[in-house]
Structure 1
Amino acid sequence: MTQITERSSRVVPAEKTAEAAAPAPRAKKRDAFFDNAKYLAIVLVAVGHAWEPLRDGSRAVSALYVVVYAFHMPAFIIISGYFSRGFDFRPDRVRRLITGIAVPYILFEVAYSLFHRWAADDPSMPVSLLDPWYLTWFLLALFVWRMTAPIWRLVRHPVPLALAIAALASVSPDIGDDLDLQRVLQFLPFFVLGLRLKPEHFQLVRRREVRVLAVPVFAATVVFAYWAVSRMNMAWFFHRDSAQELAAPWWSGILMTFALFGCSLVLTACFFAWVPGRRMWFTALGAGTLCGYLLHGFLAQSASTWDWYDADWLHGPSAAVFVTLVAAVVVTLLCTPPVQRIFRFALEPEMAWAFKAEPVGRRGGS
């Protein structure tokens, strides 16, 4: 299409004038299903962190903890991949990648490191952007994954290829801790799967029969987890170590990569089956899940550092229910619009000063 500017002196056809005068298209409406899924997943993340100090005293809590860890991050990552399908290196998208992921990673990595230095009285804690600490690994991983999105759209059989890479990572202890590459590579298949999914795939798992079938599947998983929690190294579900680092034979890393991928997919499908597709009271909070994710970590670390769980009454069946409710309420508050506005400077910085102005004709182009 020919670009028309105020300096143009050519005669413009009437249909082109009408096209130029037409109102700009409205912003794409958010899908309530995905906002609901993101909110419910971040609640599970916070609840999982709240359960962690209770694991040693309760086999039931440990079983639920493992089940949640089997699918809550895979669900998040699949959604992240799904919404990265259109990513390319167009300037406006690269800019959003930098301001929405890279800059928050830098700010919160520094903030977490300094917080740990102060809270734990540990001046030796390094501030390193190459070794993500606690929750910030996800931002770094998402940055890397999204940068590779055009590659996965180009190659044949992307999901099997990503699984092969994850399996190789699981038997490669020399990868080390830099950039938390074990997690980046072992969680990669879920992101690539999200890139390949289409709306009809989500509709498929949201059918009534799938919702009904998800009940016995989840129940059986909890029973199995209760049996396995004392017989299996649960660190496999964190995807942060190689098989050798878990004192297992190298070939078990390959088997566990495929087994855990299948297990996580089944549980994630069950989770998506239960996510409501209509607008709920918490739907709007789905837009603030990154805020809730990054901020609740300070409270989780405070609980561990300052021994908030030392009270005797926090080590009974009722304590787990109480801790679950508190974690859900706190992370819900952290996802609310007022909190998002307060921390927008760190999570969605404008940074117009850092970027060249885009040519008028290229803004908002396809």
Structure 2
Amino acid sequence: MFQPHREKQSQRNPFFDNAKYLAIVLVAVGHVWEPVMEGSRATRALYMVVYAFHMPAFVIVSGYFSRSFAGRPDQLRRLVGGVAVPYLAFEVAYTLYRRWAQDAPQQAFSLTDPFYLTWFLLALFVWRLSAPLWRALRYPLPVAVAVAALASLTPRIAADLDLQRILQFLPFFVLGLTLREEHFRLLRRRAVRVAAVPVALAAPAVAYAAAPHLRMGWFYRNTSAQELGYGWWAGPLATVALGAVALVLTVAFLAWVPARRTWFTVLGAGSVCGYLLHGFAVKALQYWELVDAHPVLATPVGRVGLTVAAAGAVTLMCTPPVRRALRWVTEPRLEWAFRPAAAAPAPGAAGPPDAPDAPGAPGASGAGAPGRAVPAGAVSRA
């Protein structure tokens, strides 16, 4: 979801900004539940529901906004500035943070082994570069599913680039590449929105029943079936089954995302800031063992308090002042690093106009809000 740095707010698509903000709240809430869900089946069940679809939803929208990527110099420049630079900067920042917070000077810097939530930026960089290949294939989605299934039954895939995650989440990105504006319009139909209600009600109940039996590693998609203690055949089965669950829950989520401007629409433009910053607060719970020091945080009241605090904190991190303060690293201007861009191709000469990028990246305008055309303009190494 990248866009010109000075794009006017009136050009943005409210639907996708609303979706980005709501999804980033779920990401932050899910992360603070992690250290306190032990012993609470209900919290674990809610955590499973969130993890079943929130990253697939991010990846699908990332693919949707990558449809026109063809590797042109201007597109590569935006990819470097909007994805590679934030990845490198926050990879260093999280490493230094752990060195300081845990007095761990041995914590190594790594450009290829993503630290915590920076994996998504690295994955997006790789997926985006591969977009022209997937668009050239006759049957891209079945091929991507086959790649993900093979990855899920392949132990010991190297940690470099967090390749297991890149491959297992790949079908969602490729699906996004195949979507069109009319597909998002379908979500606004009354029948879809009505059907989303029983799905939303049933999901926690099903997760509650499955919570004691299902390993969370399936949702992280960063290990093979054998490494989770299952036979090789469980990997492809889980790829298809959990992929279907993710799609159903993503549809239910997006069906109820408002398509109009709301009080939180402006916060969607700063979702990359919320994504990259909230990890410091979450890691503080772990590094300083705050849950052990304050057992009240692991009580029902404490969990509710952490949920509200996480939602409030990530909301503040998405506000325009924070976005402006971090623009030098999340949306840097790189004129000094690149040669002057060539003249833009004539209208219609290179397919659709270049679209913004991913849901966790600097704000996106959409290719048109569902139902109304609008001008186009993030657990690895810890």
TM-score (norm 1): 0.90
Mapping of 1:211-226 within 5 angstroms?
Answer: 211-226=193-208
Partner residue, 1:35: 17
SS at match of 1:112: helix
Partner residue, 2:373: none
In the alignment, the residues of structure 1 paired with residue 63 and residue 168 of structure 2 have an alpha-carbon distance, to the nearest angstrom, of 15
Partner residue, 1:188: 170
Q: Unaligned 5+ residue runs, structure 1?
A: 1-24
Q: Deviations over 1:132-190 (max 9, x none)?
A: 01000000000000001111111011111100000000011131211100000000000
> Is the counterpart of residue 315 in structure 1 residue 298 in structure 2?
yes
One of 219, 226, 230 as aligned partner of 1:248: 230
Q: Cα distance 1:270–1:27, how it changes in 2: closer, same or farther (>3 A)?
A: closer
Of 134-143 and 206-215, the range deviating more from structure 2: 206-215
> Is the counterpart of residue 54 in structure 1 residue 36 in structure 2?
yes
1:316: how far off? Answer: 2.1
In the alignment, the residues of structure 1 paired with residue 172 and residue 10 of structure 2 have an alpha-carbon distance, to the nearest angstrom, of 25
Identity of aligned residues (%): 59
Q: Cα distance 1:155–1:336, how it changes in 2: closer, same or farther (>3 A)?
A: same
SS at match of 2:269: helix
1:321: how far off? Answer: 1.7
Partner residue, 2:261: 279
1:363: how far off? Answer: 8.0
Q: Deviations over 1:104-151 (max 9, x none)?
A: 111111111111111111122110011001000000000000001111
Partner residue, 1:68: 50
One of 227, 241, 246 as aligned partner of 1:259: 241
Amino acid across the alignment from 1:353: W
Larger Rg: 1
SS at match of 1:172: coil
Mapping of 1:343-362 within 5 angstroms?
Answer: 343-359=326-342, 361-362=343-344
In the alignment, the residues of structure 2 paired with residue 201 and residue 252 of structure 1 have an alpha-carbon distance, to the nearest angstrom, of 31
In the alignment, the residues of structure 1 paired with residue 15 and residue 309 of structure 2 have an alpha-carbon distance, to the nearest angstrom, of 25
Partner residue, 1:110: 92
1:49: how far off? Answer: 0.4
In the alignment, the residues of structure 1 paired with residue 48 and residue 344 of structure 2 have an alpha-carbon distance, to the nearest angstrom, of 48
> Is the counterpart of residue 198 in structure 1 residue 180 in structure 2?
yes
Partner residue, 1:19: none
> Is the counterpart of residue 289 in structure 1 residue 271 in structure 2?
yes
SS at match of 1:354: coil
In the alignment, the residues of structure 2 paired with residue 363 and residue 298 of structure 1 have an alpha-carbon distance, to the nearest angstrom, of 42
How many residues were matched structurally?
341
Q: Cα distance 1:102–1:364, how it changes in 2: closer, same or farther (>3 A)?
A: farther
> Is the counterpart of residue 124 in structure 1 residue 106 in structure 2?
yes
Amino acid across the alignment from 2:36: L
In the alignment, the residues of structure 2 paired with residue 27 and residue 94 of structure 1 have an alpha-carbon distance, to the nearest angstrom, of 24
Structure with larger RCO (C-alpha < 8 A, sep 6+): 2
SS at match of 1:343: helix
Judge conservation of contact 2:37–2:298 (CA < 8 Å) in 1.
Answer: no
Of 209-218 and 178-187, the range deviating more from structure 2: 209-218
Partner residue, 1:145: 127
**Larger helix proportion of the pair:** 1
Partner residue, 1:337: 320
Q: Deviations over 1:259-313 (max 9, x none)?
A: 0100000000000011010000000111111111001111110111112223132
SS at match of 2:111: coil
> Is the counterpart of residue 306 in structure 1 residue 306 in structure 2?
no
1:319: how far off? Answer: 1.9
In the alignment, the residues of structure 2 paired with residue 326 and residue 244 of structure 1 have an alpha-carbon distance, to the nearest angstrom, of 37
Of 135-144 and 196-205, the range deviating more from structure 2: 196-205
In the alignment, the residues of structure 1 paired with residue 171 and residue 49 of structure 2 have an alpha-carbon distance, to the nearest angstrom, of 19
Q: What stretches of structure 1 move > 3 A for 4+ residues in a row?
A: 25-28, 361-366
In the alignment, the residues of structure 2 paired with residue 29 and residue 274 of structure 1 have an alpha-carbon distance, to the nearest angstrom, of 22
In the alignment, the residues of structure 1 paired with residue 177 and residue 190 of structure 2 have an alpha-carbon distance, to the nearest angstrom, of 25
Judge conservation of contact 2:162–2:222 (CA < 8 Å) in 1.
Answer: yes
Of 169-178 and 183-192, the range deviating more from structure 2: 169-178
